[in-house]
Structure 1
């Protein structure tokens, strides 16, 4: 298949993988095999298929894939057999329906509003390990985590327009990549940033790190960053500063684990820190080669440093994430 025809297919796949946390939540409503609590409710006021967290949750248990996976694996009838490597974490929400403790009406000092999807929410880790919590500690300011799994940029823009002012933030961190599952991902992204800038609050864009096991994300990274930077410049009230975190994650390597790179039609997996090639299967039309999936399933030590599922940082990853965001926020927004 020619590269031009392949890009739309990969775009949809990667966008779905980026929101797989939210899909897992919704799927758990219908499938008894998935031992996860229901933690969201529909929020049509924010847009088509938008949702928000349920309020007053206490240690709701989530069971999610602990390895990179194709969204089709979650939809498969035999997913319980396919995905045996899982992780558990708990979710508690306040009376306002956000992860974490109650949010005081007035901030005691600087308040940073962290808007985003499952990455901001802290999918797969505890609230204390999420990047907004770590950022608060590093900067000595108050952060408010309003991240929701699978929230899209257009939903985020609508949420900011309707609700951000009630939190009286000094800074808004807009943490998400364009949604390539949509026909016009950059147009929607620009509209969302325009909504954020219209608040009159300082806004920063954080592009979450891309896993080495995300073939399309890596091939599209440079072009995507350029488009986002162009949008950030022309948004009324801009330029909005942009932080792309993949380089910070790559700089934190090598550390023990496995990474993947696309080369000559193959998915080459290397073991760190030796950088030894351990397998190089032919790249499938989408997703990961079966040999790579089998390695993840059969060996718990077969893991990518700083990520746990090919899209979300683990606790160590969020340390790198929050440190980079803290330095950049201090320089650009405070």
Structure 2
């Protein structure tokens, strides 16, 4: 019987989902050689090839590798459930916790929240994933993650949202923009101007809904799926954009000054919070993470990104 480890299976899933050892290493915060060695050992133990190595295109799963990947996910989920049972019996939060986070604000929220939680609960080991909204729904429903930080956008009925803070929309402008000196702007002020749209599943629908509420249509000139690229496009005067999360710096990645101007009028704010499957809070580890995040919200931990504590 092959001798497999949970760590090997974790590495397999990460490589299978990202299609790259380097990207899997970034996701898991381990070295690429460690992952490469684990995959090689796994293939030797199983006596099959799990991946096809393509020099220019990374790694793709073989048919056998796809079947093993699906079973590996199931084994890792079962291992988390065993850890949850142990945590309930011992009365303490412990074991692995898979946390997803909306990629548009993951860099601003997740590392600090994770560090504080792991300091307070040293027996918990967090694995994080940065995902778009549709991917978060899918990962929760497939039990690939235990909990996620995201917005209250189009939440499916089989998932449970716990609000933490409210985030209002603002226009992101380059410092020389004609509206940059205003204290606020309306959708009518923006509609006829060139817009750089952050083009992500469900998030895009929210941005466009701000215009629909005012019976206007935006003049979209560029689409990007990358927050940093969007900021640099704005900084270089290709247009304005709309966001809900304020970064710590008013400088674009390539060094241009940016200005955030609140949008007033009939615009919907978003709530940032925690998303779980129904009943997930019965896990002592998930419950501890929820309690910690709520305490951080009440203490004003999200104020720097524009978060208003919910009443």
The TM-score normalised by the length of structure 2 is 0.29
More strand by share: 2
- Which has more radius of gyration? 2
